[in-house]
Amino acid sequence: MVFTLFFVVATLLAGSLYFRFYRADITRQAESKEYDKYFVMITDNYKSDFWQSVYRGALDTAKEHGIYVDLLGENLSGDYSIEELMRIAIASEVDGIIVYASEAPQMVSLINEAVSNGIPVVTLYGDSTHSDRLSFVGVGGYSVGKLYGKQIVNIIKEKRRQELLEANKIEDRTQVQIAVLASTDTLDAGQNIIISSMQDTIRQENATDSEFAVSIVAVDNTNAFAVEESIRDIFMQEEVPDVIVCLNELNTICAYQAVVDFNKVGEVNVLGYYDSEDILNAIDRGGIYATISIDTLQLGQYSVQALLDYMELGNTSEYFTADTMLIDKENVGTFKHREEQDE
């Protein structure tokens, strides 16, 4: 009996060890799979939910074609700027670069250098129109501006109804103050299109200039702390805007936090950007009026597809535009339910 018990225990231990080493070997084989091409994606903040989702879309699409996409910077020690990561990619002689670009001369020069070295470049979300980039994958700024504009019109109408009950005459109406949080990088043409489209939409909906005023607030997006400080300064002023329009995920989260910290929920309407779990929860609680949902997986897919088209066909579309959708109090439950199902 003792011998039998010893034999059973030994067999179980041996089997357990064998399975562990076998599984580890299979994992190593899967991880060491050889890919035909090696692309890199370069962003300004690889940790954000937005860019992680874009990367997943790119990686899944690339793997279907035997290509690996590396989110450059994620596995490097230390923080590197986009320009530094571009230099690393060029020196590494990668097969393709997907980069969050700008119109800055240094970025134009780096993209041109990559192309001259035989590395095709696709600009993602931020364009560099004067460079030799292959294609631009982004979001239609005009469409986003229209979505923001229509929400602001709704806010103006709500204020009209409220003041109609309180004011003695129509001249007593106050202007709806709208603050747009724009990047300090004034070379970002995309945000200018959004702002211009937003203003045009408001005017087309019969809102007069006396009913609204738009101001541009420059926000330093170099890091989260700088963004928080820039947004908190808005709430420290004598007059706090009625509407804050955010053009990226980080600004949206920081604006919502400031609204809560300064007890302005219901007074300040935040129009956000992206649909992370925190943003959806904030809409559900009433802290964010609405947000623009970007099909981030589509952004990643289109980025890889542009490089594939070029390599297989010798040319590709100059522009790819991802889908956008508005999320507000009325439909946020649907999006939250969808995310729960995905998990």
Higher pLDDT, 186 or 130: 130
> What superfamily would CATH give domain 141-294+326-342?
Response regulator (3.40.50.2300)
CA distance 266 to 224: 25
pLDDT at 343: 53
What is the secondary structure of 271-316 as a DSSP string?
A: EEES--HHHHHHHHHTSSSEEEEE-HHHHHHHHHHHHHHHHHHS--
What is the secondary structure of 143-192 as a DSSP string?
A: HHHHHHHHHHHHHHHHHHHHHHHH-SSGGGPPPEEEEEEEES-TT-HHHH
Q: What is the mean pLDDT of residues 141-168?
A: 84
pLDDT at 212: 87
Q: What is the mean pLDDT of residues 240-269?
A: 94
Residue with tokens 């793997």: 63
Q: What is the mean pLDDT of residues 137-158?
A: 92
CA distance 52 to 58: 10
Give the domain ranges of the chain. Answer: 37-139+297-323, 141-294+326-342
pLDDT at 45: 86
Single-letter amino acid code for the residue at 183: S
Task: Compute the C-alpha angle 79/138/190, nearest 5°.
Answer: 85
CA distance 283 to 289: 6
- Angle of helix 189-204 relative to helix 141-166, nearest 10 degrees, comes to 40
Radius of gyration in angstroms for the set of CA atoms belonging to the chain, rounded to a whole number: 25
Quickly state the pLDDT bin for 278 (edges 50, 70, 90): very high
| % of the chain exceeding 70 in pLDDT | 83
Residue with tokens 């969050």: 100
CA distance 212 to 222: 30
Quickly state the pLDDT bin for 35 (edges 50, 70, 90): confident
pLDDT at 9: 54
Tokens for 177? Answer: 């103050």
Confirm whether 37-139+297-323 and 141-294+326-342 share one CATH topology.
Answer: yes
Quickly state the pLDDT bin for 130 (edges 50, 70, 90): very high
pLDDT at 22: 41
Cα(first)–Cα(last) distance of the chain, in Å? 49
For the beta sheet containing 67-71, the strands, ordered from the edge strand earlier in sequence to the opposite edge, are 67-71, 37-42, 96-99, 121-124, 135-139, 319-322
Single-letter amino acid code for the residue at 253: I
pLDDT tops 50 at residue 37: yes
Q: What is the mean pLDDT of residues 21-49?
A: 71
Average pLDDT of the chain, as a whole number: 85
Q: What is the mean pLDDT of residues 32-58?
A: 90
Please check whether residue 55 is in contact with residue 69, taking contact to mean a CB–CB distance below 8 angstroms: yes
Please check whether residue 309 is in contact with residue 257, taking contact to mean a CB–CB distance below 8 angstroms: no
Longest Cα–Cα distance in the chain: 100
Please check whether residue 86 is in contact with residue 92, taking contact to mean a CB–CB distance below 8 angstroms: no
CA distance 6 to 69: 50
CA distance 303 to 298: 8
Quickly state the pLDDT bin for 80 (edges 50, 70, 90): confident
CB atoms within 10 A of CB 316: 18
Q: What CATH fold (topology level) applies to the domain 37-139+297-323?
A: Rossmann fold (3.40.50)
Single-letter amino acid code for the residue at 65: H
pLDDT tops 60 at residue 172: no
